[in-house]
Amino acid sequence: MPHARYETRGDIGEIVLSNPPLNLFDATLMAELRTAVGEAAADAPRALLIHAEGKVFTAGVDVHVFEGLDIPAADALTASLLELAHTLEDMPFPTIAAVHGLCLTAGLELSLACDLLWAAEGARFGLVERVVGITPLMGGTQRMAERAGTARAREFVYSGALYDSATLHAWGVVNRVVAEDGLLESARAFALELAAGPTVAHAATKAIVRAQADHGTRGADERTAQLTSHLFETDDSRNAVQSFLQNGPGKATFTGK
């Protein structure tokens, strides 16, 4: 059985970590995860959900991966991990991570490369790289800082402590906290709802948020027309404008074209 796989469900794609009990990020899981992300990029579903089988999302990276690395090998590992995060982050459709149980190191960094993070009540999160004398390699520190602020990011990584869903929700890292037994169902329903929407517009929204993070508010302003004007020539917008004028708001359906 694969340790990570891509599958489709209606208009959404799903990447599933499937190496319980711990879903450890070993060489096999990381290779299969890269392929699964590549499959998702090629398939271009209208939304993507990432979740995991078993009692925990992941206990993080298999420490054997770090054993005996020299600087060139570490450079290559970091480049490979960041490339995975960037591929996911650049996908032009909404992405959601649904996290339960425990979510450590690369698993949290993978989740932070998604647009939205939904967490089960009782889930615990940590960037615990300090335990093996390193610091996160897959962009988790900077993405935690982007969402929660620099002081919290420093605390989170310096301490290597586990933080619960409620704390990360209060910090703005987690979008929603839901009961664990309903997490997958509710996150999937939300992904399907997004996928049924004007997904070309969602891609533009995503690009504007990215522009704001990378270039500041005025930088995003400078790019807004370039990122949005084509929307008026989409079938979805033209049909929705007519639907609005003829039948009022909320009646339009969208195809993602």
Partner 1 sequence: MSLDLHALESSFDLVAPRGDELMDVFYARLFAAAPGVRPLFAQTDLRRQKGMLLGALVLLRKSLRDLDRIVPTLRELGARHVAYGALPEHYPVVGEVLIASMTEIAGDAWLPHYTDAWVGAYGIVAGAMIDGAHDAQAPIAA
User: Catalytic residues, which ones?
Assistant: 109, 129
CB of 83 to partner 1, least distance (A): 5
Judged by beta carbon, residue 41 or residue 166, the one nearer partner 1 is: 41
Q: For residue 211, give every residue at least 6 positions away whose Cβ sits within 8 Å of its Cβ, in sequence order, or none.
A: 219, 220, 223, 224, 227
Q: Which residues, other chains included, contact 227 with Cβ-Cβ below 8 Å and sequence gap of 6+?
A: 204, 207, 208, 211
- Residues in contact with partner 1, shown as a per-residue x/- string from 200 to 219 under the rule CB under 8 A: --------------------
Residue (31 or 252) nearer to partner 1, CB:
31
CB nearer to partner 1: pick between 78 and 167? 78
When the beta carbons of 86 and 154 are compared against partner 1, the nearer one is 86
Size of interface with partner 1, in residues (CB under 8 A): 19
Q: Could you say which residues in the range 11-50 bind partner 1, by CB under 8 A? A: 31, 34-44
Cα separation values, 119 from 23, 51, 101, 196, 249, Å? 17, 10, 9, 23, 32
Among 4, 6, 115, 118, binds partner 1 (CB under 8 A): 6
**Rounded CA separation 162/168 (Å):** 10
Measured CA distances, 147 to 114, 150, 152, 169 (Å): 12, 9, 10, 11
CB-side neighbour CA atoms (13 Å) of 257: 4
Binding-residue pattern over the window 68 to 97 for partner 1, x denoting contact by CB under 8 A: -----------xx--xx-xx----------
3-state secondary structure of 17: strand
Footprint on this chain of partner 1 (rule: CB under 8 A): 6, 31, 34-44, 79-80, 83-84, 86-87
